[in-house]
Structure 1
Amino acid sequence: MDPSSHKFYHKHEPDSRESLETYYSGDPDTTFKDDLLKFPVEKMHNAFSMGHMTGNLLIDISAGPIIHHLYSACEFFKEIILMRTNEQCIMEIMKWHDDRTGAFCWGHTAAHVTDLEGTSDQCEAKEMRLKSAITHVVKFDPETESLTDLIGVPQADCIITSFLLDVISKDEEDYVRNLRKILELLKPGGHLVLLGARHTSYYTVGGHKYHVFRYDETCKSKHLYKQQTAAVRVTEAHCHYWTFLSAYLETYFCGHPDMAFKDDTLSYPLEKLHNAFDMGHITGKILIDISAGPLIHLLYSACKFFQEIILMRTNEKCIMEIMKWLDDRTGAFCWGHVAKHVTDLEGKSHECEAKEMKLKSAITRVVKFDPESEDLTDPIGVPQADCILTAVLLDKICKDQDDYRRNLRKILKLLKPGGHLILIGTINASYYTVGVHRFHSFTYDENFVSSTLVAEGMTILQCEVTPRTSESLLITIRNTVVFCSSRLANRSRLKVKY
């Protein structure tokens, strides 16, 4: 059949009930039970159970009368609004919602989700929870220019869209236009969960073939990146960025052998830190780590040279993520690949578990601070340290050179005279990407870092710049300042005018 003769979902409205029976029934012989039920439900469970996607409002803007992908989400949002393109879908959903005779049974999905959650005896309660969370089911016209103008739906903390873009978009240009309209419904810092079918050209309902826009993963990723805000205000960057903690860790710090950044963010800095601490002149009672994100991997080498390590982070989400790891909680990010790498460097590969325990016991406090405060220790009362480690924090919170100097000066107030500063950052970067969002990175070069440190009374012991080894559109870095070690003079701090 000529693809041009395929019907369009939103114009020709396939039979809603027949769609459900064909693709979503609980019959063991259902052809698509793994593709359309089991796999997406499990992925949704994993994503929401990590706890970083939560809020007041979730909007589900999907194709057909499906609700099964919302069972996991309903625990994390106070209100769910469903948006559908036609009355037939809405009527089918309302039959289920209101427990009417003849409603499609989603019990098999509720049972699967409660099994995943380890609460299989609460299947009925899960059903009721989802129904009570759904407050509106509204019709919209996908061809209108602004979805918000038409129906007055507020912006959401999270949007789920399942197969809608695939079935309403004629071509790539149309896909981009429709994606842009959907993203207008999303708050800054919010999450988009997109489900679709790659390399598909049609699906069948009741003997009729319906159009599906054919695309691949590269096409989808490219257009998600293009819809990012190109310039993120710095104040937004360190407030909203950490909503995406899990994606940040998985993108830049996971132990997968194919991870694009394993040399830039893991192997090379770990080796430089091992070498620096192993020389024995960077040691003392207290080390303060004042870095960006829930990172702890740079501390494995340091922990045997300091009695106490204090972590300072800008927000609660980072602290919660660190505490999950520190307390061995379910869902904590695994840093085992780093512990293994460091113990290999030390020639003690059999002591990987002991290294993990050593670092955890050395960390005595994880405290929140306000980077915009003039005194970073107010009101947390952190003592001055023998060593400060700061990794990419200045890159992320500083707007310009003056802001960098000002923030560095505040950090150095935490350092004892004669103490060491270890600074890790990025050279010539302007942004980095997490999920589908771009975040600001202050652009500077090696000369600026060196001159700024010297102006603040630091003696530079080592400053090494390494060429970037990874190629990715996720981040603009040509070089990385992997290791910059300096010592604060024992004399009074210089008064510097700029």
Structure 2
Amino acid sequence: MCRFNTISYLQTLYPGVDNNPNEAPLASFFLEKTVQILHDERNRFGNQKVLEFGGGPNLSSSLLLAQYVDSIRFCDYAQSNLTYVSDWIEQKSTVFDWTNYFESILTIAGTSKEKRIEWESRLRDALIRGGLSICDVNDPDCPILSGKSDDHDIIFSSFCLEAACLTIEIFNETIGKLVRLLKPGGLLLLVMVRNESFYYVDAENFFCLSLDETKVRKALQATGELVDIHIDSADTTVEDQKRNTMSDFDGEMIIHAFKTIK
């Protein structure tokens, strides 16, 4: 992962929701579904703490989450990604400019672009309260995954677990560890690509664990602690797959479920 180029990743994937032919359908699907789930379920989950696991340098989902909760614990494997998030919080002049992308998100959320500054302020406050941390699913002693049980209202992970987990066994174990950290009644929200075996950042090729709806549902059910499991999927078109030279996924999944209340 030390080969991961944070700057190239951001510049390639996040100029604006509709600007990149490789990723626009993907981004629109996930953002629309995330907006819908958070809105529809807002009275069901608490509003205090989110764990965003494997956030990368991507703040798009964080922006949405911050409108519902007070604190976001943001963690990632790569220190370079955390440094970029820290630089954004501190509003450094060299930081990646999220303006266009964030304004696209506000449009999807049905909110005026004029509220971008207000939304960004809420996000900065939430990240400062929660803090930034290193995480590694392949480390059995990962401090984040070994944290306090029943501690978070929402656990969110986007494009992380399929890229980070080296085996299906590690994926299953990680799901169990994340659910342990979730408060009873809390929301587990996962964003994933389907059947992806690799992806590129610049010329660097990265491994991806191929997952589909069946494997994901099996892992969630195996915890014995989740109810109301929903998996929304969208297939990529043949044209999308031909244009996409960055990876080989054939669909998208957004998964949400709630931890049982004992």
Q: How high is the TM-score relative to the length of structure 1? A: 0.47
Higher RCO, Cα 8 Å, sep 6+: 2
Cα distance in 2 between the residues matched to 1:451 and 1:380: 23
Give the aligned residue type for 1:467.
D
User: In the alignment, which residue of structure 2 is the partner of 1:17?
Assistant: none
Cα distance in 1 between the residues matched to 2:94 and 2:15: 14
Q: 1:313-462 counterparts in 2 under 5 A?
A: 313-344=76-107, 345-363=109-127, 364=129, 365-377=131-143, 384-456=151-223, 457-462=225-230
Cα distance in 2 between the residues matched to 1:355 and 1:292: 18
2:257 is the counterpart of 1:486: yes
Q: 1:235-274 counterparts in 2 under 5 A?
A: 239-242=1-4, 244-255=5-16, 257-274=18-35
CA 1:370–1:411: 2 relative to 1, 3 Å: same
- Kept after mapping to 2: 8 A contact 1:367/1:380: no
CA 1:320–1:265: 2 relative to 1, 3 Å: farther
Cα distance in 1 between the residues matched to 2:142 and 2:181: 8
Bigger-Rg structure (1/2): 1
SS at match of 2:211: coil
Give the aligned residue type for 1:361.
D
Q: After TM superposition, give the deviation of residue 257 of structure 1 in Å.
A: 4.8
Q: After TM superposition, give the deviation of residue 255 of structure 1 in Å.
A: 2.0
2:57 pairs, out of 291, 294, 298, with 294
User: In the alignment, which residue of structure 2 is the partner of 1:475?
Assistant: 247
Give the aligned residue type for 1:301.
L
Q: After TM superposition, give the deviation of residue 274 of structure 1 in Å.
A: 1.1
- Kept after mapping to 2: 8 A contact 1:277/1:283: no
Q: After TM superposition, give the deviation of residue 397 of structure 1 in Å.
A: 1.6
Give the aligned residue type for 1:474.
M
Q: After TM superposition, give the deviation of residue 446 of structure 1 in Å.
A: 0.7
Q: How high is the TM-score relative to the length of structure 2? A: 0.87
**What do the CA deviations read for 1:434-487 (whole angstroms, capped 9, x no partner)?**
111110000121111112111112224421011225321211011011x21111
- Kept after mapping to 2: 8 A contact 1:255/1:337: yes
Q: After TM superposition, give the deviation of residue 329 of structure 1 in Å.
A: 0.8
Cα distance in 2 between the residues matched to 1:382 and 1:336: 36
- Kept after mapping to 2: 8 A contact 1:374/1:410: no
User: In the alignment, which residue of structure 2 is the partner of 1:53?
Assistant: none
Cα distance in 2 between the residues matched to 1:257 and 1:272: 16
- Kept after mapping to 1: 8 A contact 2:137/2:170: no
Aligned residues: 251
Cα distance in 2 between the residues matched to 1:430 and 1:370: 19
Q: After TM superposition, give the deviation of residue 267 of structure 1 in Å.
A: 2.1
**What do the CA deviations read for 1:93-137 (whole angstroms, capped 9, x no partner)?**
xxxxxxxxxxxxxxxxxxxxxxxxxxxxxxxxxxxxxxxxxxxxx
- Kept after mapping to 1: 8 A contact 2:52/2:72: yes
CA 1:264–1:290: 2 relative to 1, 3 Å: farther
Q: After TM superposition, give the deviation of residue 342 of structure 1 in Å.
A: 2.9
CA 1:486–1:378: 2 relative to 1, 3 Å: closer
Q: After TM superposition, give the deviation of residue 379 of structure 1 in Å.
A: 10
User: In the alignment, which residue of structure 2 is the partner of 1:12?
Assistant: none
Cα distance in 1 between the residues matched to 2:68 and 2:155: 13
SS at match of 2:66: helix
Q: After TM superposition, give the deviation of residue 296 of structure 1 in Å.
A: 1.3
Q: 1:34-433 counterparts in 2 under 5 A?
A: 239-242=1-4, 244-255=5-16, 257-279=18-40, 280=42, 281-344=44-107, 345-363=109-127, 364=129, 365-377=131-143, 384-433=151-200
* Structure 1: 5+ residue stretches without partners: 1-238, 492-498
Give the aligned residue type for 1:359.
L
Q: After TM superposition, give the deviation of residue 425 of structure 1 in Å.
A: 0.8
Q: Percent identity?
A: 18
Cα distance in 2 between the residues matched to 1:256 and 1:423: 19
Q: After TM superposition, give the deviation of residue 304 of structure 1 in Å.
A: 1.9
SS at match of 1:484: strand
Cα distance in 1 between the residues matched to 2:18 and 2:233: 24
Cα distance in 1 between the residues matched to 2:214 and 2:205: 26
RMSD over aligned CA atoms reads 2.2
- Kept after mapping to 2: 8 A contact 1:389/1:421: yes
Cα distance in 1 between the residues matched to 2:180 and 2:145: 15
Q: After TM superposition, give the deviation of residue 422 of structure 1 in Å.
A: 0.3
Q: After TM superposition, give the deviation of residue 295 of structure 1 in Å.
A: 1.2
Q: After TM superposition, give the deviation of residue 323 of structure 1 in Å.
A: 0.9
Q: After TM superposition, give the deviation of residue 316 of structure 1 in Å.
A: 1.4
